[in-house]
Amino acid sequence: MVSGETHYVVSMKRLSRIVLASAVVGAVALSLAGCAGGGTSDTLRIGVEAPLSGEQSVTGVGMINGAQLAADEINADGGVDGRKIEIIAIDDAADPDTGVAAAEAAIADGLDGVVGPYNSGVGIKTLPLYQAAGILPIRLTTNSKTNSMGFTLQPMDYQIAPVAATGLDQWLGAKSVAIIYDESAEYTKSIASTLKSQLESAGLTVPVFTAIDPGKADYSAAVTAASQAGVDVIYGATYFPEGALLAQAIHTLQVPQPCVLDYGSYDPGYITNAGSVEVAAACSLVGVPSPTDFAKGAGFVADFTEKFGEAPGTWSPYTYDSVKLLADAVSSTKGTDMAALTDYLNTVANWQGATGSVTIDPANGNREPATVVFLSVTPAGEFHVNHDWANAVGAPF
């Protein structure tokens, strides 16, 4: 094996007891397939690929800590058939090229399984690498191009768009919708197009379909143009840094139309980047239930907060459940063979975790039903399911 990992000392509050795979690409010269199954007889090495640097780092840290909490609980209970889990952090920086280099380095150094990545554009590139190396991924990607590249517990784009369209129609009563989207990212570009088709199929119009580039300081021009077009709702399909800027523009310009931000913006980083709870509350968001909205969420949040000194991120419970589900699969199949794990996970039904009941659709490795909801930002600066939406569409919240 190529030994290329670096041990970083990171604030215990944010990121604890992890190993960041950071070998240079040029050092990865061995066959990737020959490097799978890197754990020793008493160690189960599970990689977590996430954006640990860059503007989405808050998302990645929440993912890592959720996985670490699951590993610590399993280890305290004796491990996986006596094997202790070691979480290996893989920083893709939300960038495909960075992700490929980090994934190759981690594979070469030895992995028994992987959770992540989060960004679909990265996953399209890195998930096949893990699979080619015989390493089973439990991903957090949402783009349908990643169907059957391992398994996922979070919703996919084809599950998100219908919920969003129904909410815009039946809850907000929209007849016309402006969609502002990030054209640089695989997920946001795809969800914008899919939502547009869903809305038009339902008889709504989309007179404004505006692409923006991420990383700008202000999107007031796009918001002003959308509002002046006379639409009923403005919908932003971006990740949270741009979503926060859209909310700032909505709030500052006192735009009269309701604002809804897509799944990619649903993250605690959205509220932080918005600058205030008042600004963040200017938009509703499409996402998944907050950790405390789940039946077992209160206990998970308490354990997470006690361990890390801060509340969990949006995707912390999903990586927590992903590690626990993978551990169950390894225990049940008595190993990390990808084919055996795949056969086992294809039969999962009503598995219970912090994010509720999980049933896997063997046709694509995705969770059914998806946990997609509309959320509001509360005066306390927290996300919670919007009960007006739930009542309007008959959702069980």
Please report which helix (H) or strand (E) contains residue 393, including its range: helix 387-393
Q: pLDDT value at position 193?
A: 97
* Predicted local confidence at residue 10, as pLDDT: 33
What value does the mean pLDDT of the chain take?
Answer: 90
Whether the pLDDT of residue 203 is over 90: the answer is yes
Helix (H) or strand (E) holding 45: strand 43-50
The correct CATH number of 157-287+373-393 out of 3.40.120.10, 1.20.1740.10, 3.40.50.2300, 3.90.400.10 is 3.40.50.2300
How much of the chain, in percent, has pLDDT values that exceed 70? 90
At 338 the pLDDT is 98
Whole-model pTM: value is 0.85
| Count of CB atoms situated within 10 Å of the CB of 322 | 33
CA–CA distances in Å: residue 13 to residues 206, 298, 306, 323: 44, 20, 10, 21
Residue 32: its pLDDT value, please? 37
Q: Which fold has domain 5-154+296-364?
A: Rossmann fold (3.40.50)
CATH 3.40.50.2300 residue window(s) in the chain: 5-154+296-364, 157-287+373-393
73 — pLDDT class (breaks 50, 70, 90): very high
Report whether pLDDT(14) > 50: no
Predicted confidence band at 156 (pLDDT cuts at 50, 70, 90)?
Answer: very high
DSSP code for 169: I
Give per-residue pLDDT as tens, 99-128. 999 999 999 999 999 999 999 999 999 999
- Helix then strand then coil, in percent of the chain rounded to 5, is 45, 20, 35
Starting at the edge strand that comes first in sequence, how are the strands of the sheet with 137-139 ordered?
A: 5-6, 19-21, 84-91, 43-50, 113-115, 137-139, 151-152
Q: For the residues 147-169, what does the mean pLDDT come to?
A: 97
Closest by alpha carbon to 321, among 139, 187, 143, 150? 139
- Whole-number Å distance between alpha carbons of 389 and 376: 10
Can you give the pLDDT at residue 25?
31
Lowest mean pLDDT across 12-21, 39-48, 178-187, 372-381: 12-21
Residue 36 pLDDT class (50, 70, 90 cuts) = low
Task: Band the pLDDT of 297: cuts 50, 70, 90.
Answer: confident
pLDDT tens digit sequence for 371-393: 999 999 999 999 999 999 999 99
Tell me the per-residue pLDDT of 314-354, one tens digit each, with 9 for 90 and over. Answer: 899 999 999 999 999 999 999 999 999 999 999 999 999 99
What does the pLDDT average to over 46-57?
96
Rounded distance, CA 238 to CA 332, Å? Answer: 39
Which tokens hold the place of 196? 């547009």
In the chain, the percentage of residues whose pLDDT exceeds 90 is 85
Please report, in angstroms and rounded to a whole number, the separation of the first and last CA atoms in the chain.
Answer: 50
Query: Where is average pLDDT lowest: 7-21, 31-45, 196-210, 354-368?
Result: 7-21
Q: Which band of pLDDT confidence, cut at 50, 70 and 90, is reported for residue 6?
A: very low
pLDDT average, residue stretch 252-281 = 97
Q: For the purposes of burial, counting CB atoms within 10 Å of the CB of 228, is it exposed (0-12), middle (13-18) or buried (19 or more)?
A: exposed
d(CA 363, CA 346): 8
96-109 helix and 120-132 helix, angle to the nearest 10 degrees? 30
> Residues 154-179: what's their mean pLDDT?
97
- Name the one residue in this structure whose structure tokens are 């670490």: 68
C-alpha span between 394 and 15 (Å, rounded): 39
